[in-house]
Amino acid sequence: MSRVIKAVDENNNKIDIRSTGTKLNIRASELETKLDTLATKLDVLETTLTEIAPRQATSSIYTADNLPDQTVSTVIDTDDYRYMTIMGAQTSADLSLEVHYSINNTNWYKIRSKEITFASQGGGSWCDQLLEHMPRYVRFFNNSGSTITSLHLHYQLSN
């Protein structure tokens, strides 16, 4: 049968642990130092894990605003996120938005396969779309021929 005895020697501040004939002597100050070192290593590990944890950012581009024809939206800096989920609503007749990409916020390219389309449902006109692996900058362009009225446009970036 294994037997453990723990004792603190107040004169020299030692901790004795005995089990099946094995004796371990550690000064309390040494034990405290080792625990502090372990705590520091755990803090570093926690920081590292936080850095690789999923990131998300959400924002609104328009909230019940009108977007006239031939007008671009605010530029969105995707800041190395991989995915953008776009959700929106409008009171116009299902007018669509072009998606434009840029790597330098200067030269813009229309991405035809990523057009934001709205569909009537339940008394409104709604959209939702996922953009994957976008370049650094994204914007939306109204090239529908009419003003998009009461536009609500929100996005979420994630990695």
Same domain, 32 and 99: no
Same domain, 108 and 30: no
> What's the domain range around 25?
4-51
**Mind listing the pLDDT tens digit for each residue in 7-41?**
555 555 555 555 555 555 667 777 788 888 888 88
Q: What is the CATH number of the domain that holds 73?
A: 2.60.120.380
**Mind listing the pLDDT tens digit for each residue in 52-63?**
667 788 888 888
Same domain, 8 and 69: no
**Mind listing the pLDDT tens digit for each residue in 91-131?**
877 889 999 999 999 999 998 888 999 998 877 889 999 99
Look at the chain and report how many structural domains it folds into. 2
Same domain, 31 and 87: no
Q: Is the torsion defined by CA of 48, 85, 69, 102 positive or negative?
A: positive
Give the strand pairing for 97-102 and 137-142: antiparallel
Same domain, 91 and 37: no
Same domain, 45 and 61: no
Same domain, 84 and 46: no
C-alpha span between 131 and 71 (Å, rounded): 21
Same domain, 94 and 154: yes
